[in-house]
Amino acid sequence: MLELIGIRDWIHNSLTELISEDCSWVVSLIEYVLIGVAFLAVYAVLALILIYVERKVCAFFQCRLGPNRVGPWGLMQSIADMFKILLKEIIRINNTDQFLFKVAPFIVLVGSFCTFGALHFAKGIHGVDFNVGIFYILAISSLGVVGILLAGWASNNKYTLIGAMRCGAQLVSYELSAGLSLLTMVMLAGSMQLSEIINVQEKSWLLFQAPIPALIAFVIYLIAGHAETNRGPFDLPEAESELTAGYHTEYSGIQFGFFYLAEYLNMFIIAAIAATVFLGGWQPLQINAEWAEDFNNVMNYIPTWLWFFGKTFALVFLSLWVRWTFPRLRIDQLLKLEWKILMPISLFNMLLMAVWIIWIK
């Protein structure tokens, strides 16, 4: 990451030399644009990687090979699909609310991208670092459900409307448990700023600092986060056997691609937030004991970006494992799991964490 930091400083110094001090705002504007383009590129590349990974993992669980024709080991299959979806015709649907129909995919994508920009990928490599980072993530990630509801309603299709209503009920419900789990860890860390939460885990990850309440919060967050991504066994909003394709049935071409892109990146974002809050983010594994000094030194040699992406993709694999293992829940089972099981446990766990901080920590 030192190379990236060096490139960042070189760009800043070069722009400062070329542009006079009276126009310093131009330097900031150019830097913001460059950062935005860089994040868009990473966003798109990660989506292509995740699509390929899911196809291979799915094939493994079903005793198949997965993509193996386009490029070595099928590595170019996702890129070929990207060009295909970019070149596909956007079909105009009659009797729809054209403005809301076109705006909905952008709202879903913007909510996902703004959340992505708050992640800390390595030491010193992040887009924004608000002092209320957890609150920002909870707020901006909720924007996606607005786009989904608009898409389902504006499509003027009973299947899309049912899918959107299911998604709205599911996301609003499971966001509560996910938010409570994160707030439980905020109590332990003593800050809502992501950089501070990561720094607190320098010697020991939060999952190990309060093992019992932190583990409960971790499991609840993974379940609730998985439900928020609308992936099996919580894929009722897109249930193909019931709703054709759900809320995006009427979309085609790049408009459908926006939903597709946001869905995969949301899976990455949920895993990245879990890795950051519970598993130290880019912090290496450390054992707080004298005999483990040599082990800690070896862990420190591993690049911080490798720690972050290693933890995140391990949780992504766990998400895919769950998706391709369990059957789809009914809507009553899905809501019962949240309101009668996860929510009471989350509230009790917050109380347990408070007791742990006061009497044990």
Q: pLDDT digits over 60-77, tens only?
A: 988 898 888 888 888 899
What residue segments make up the domains of the chain, in order of their start? 1-87, 95-359
Residue with tokens 């170019």: 76
Nearest CA to 108 out of 261, 303, 221 is that of 261
Q: pLDDT digits over 241-279, tens only?
A: 666 777 888 888 888 888 888 889 999 999 999 999 999
Written as one string, the DSSP assignment of 78-145 is HHHHHHHHHHS--PPPTTS-HHHHHHHHHHHHHHHHHHHTT-EEETTEES---TTHHHHHHHHHTHHH
Who has greater pLDDT, 293 or 353?
A: 353
Hey, is 131 helix, strand or coil?
A: coil
Burial class (CB in 10 A: 0-12, 13-18, 19+), 277: buried
The pLDDT, as a whole number, for residue 21 is: 67
pLDDT of 18 higher than 80:
no
162 pLDDT tier (thresholds 50, 70, 90): confident
Report yes or no: 269 and 121 within 8 Å, Cβ to Cβ: no
Nearest CA to 277 out of 222, 354, 358 is that of 222
Contacts of 55 by beta carbon, 8 Å cutoff, 6+ apart: 66, 67, 74, 77
State percent of the chain over pLDDT 70: 95
Report yes or no: 145 and 178 within 8 Å, Cβ to Cβ: no
The pLDDT, as a whole number, for residue 236 is: 79
* CA atoms of 238 and 246, how far apart (whole Å): 4
Angle at 313 between CA 308 and CA 318, to 5 degrees: 130
The pLDDT, as a whole number, for residue 257 is: 87
- Residue 121 is given by DSSP the state E
Report yes or no: 252 and 90 within 8 Å, Cβ to Cβ: yes
Who has greater pLDDT, 281 or 236?
A: 281
Q: Looking at residues 40-69, what average pLDDT do you find? A: 90
Q: pLDDT digits over 164-223, tens only?
A: 888 888 888 999 999 999 999 999 998 999 999 999 998 889 999 888 999 999 999 999
Q: Looking at residues 217-234, what average pLDDT do you find? A: 90
Q: Which two tokens stand for residue 143?
A: 């924007």
Of the spans 91-105, 122-136, 273-287, which averages the highest pLDDT?
273-287
Q: pLDDT digits over 310-323, tens only?
A: 999 999 999 999 98
Q: Which two tokens stand for residue 44?
A: 């798109």
Beta strands, E only, 79-238: 120-122, 125-126
Angstrom distances, CA of residue 149 to CA of 87, 136, 166, 258: 27, 21, 9, 15
Report yes or no: 247 and 237 within 8 Å, Cβ to Cβ: yes
340 pLDDT tier (thresholds 50, 70, 90): very high
Q: Looking at residues 316-340, what average pLDDT do you find? A: 90
The alpha carbon dihedral of 77, 79, 82, 84 has a sign of negative
136 pLDDT tier (thresholds 50, 70, 90): very high
The pLDDT, as a whole number, for residue 156 is: 85
Angstrom distances, CA of residue 356 to CA of 113, 178, 321, 350: 36, 20, 33, 10
The pLDDT, as a whole number, for residue 342 is: 94
* CA atoms of 170 and 236, how far apart (whole Å): 9
CB atoms within 10 A of CB 240: 10
308 pLDDT tier (thresholds 50, 70, 90): very high
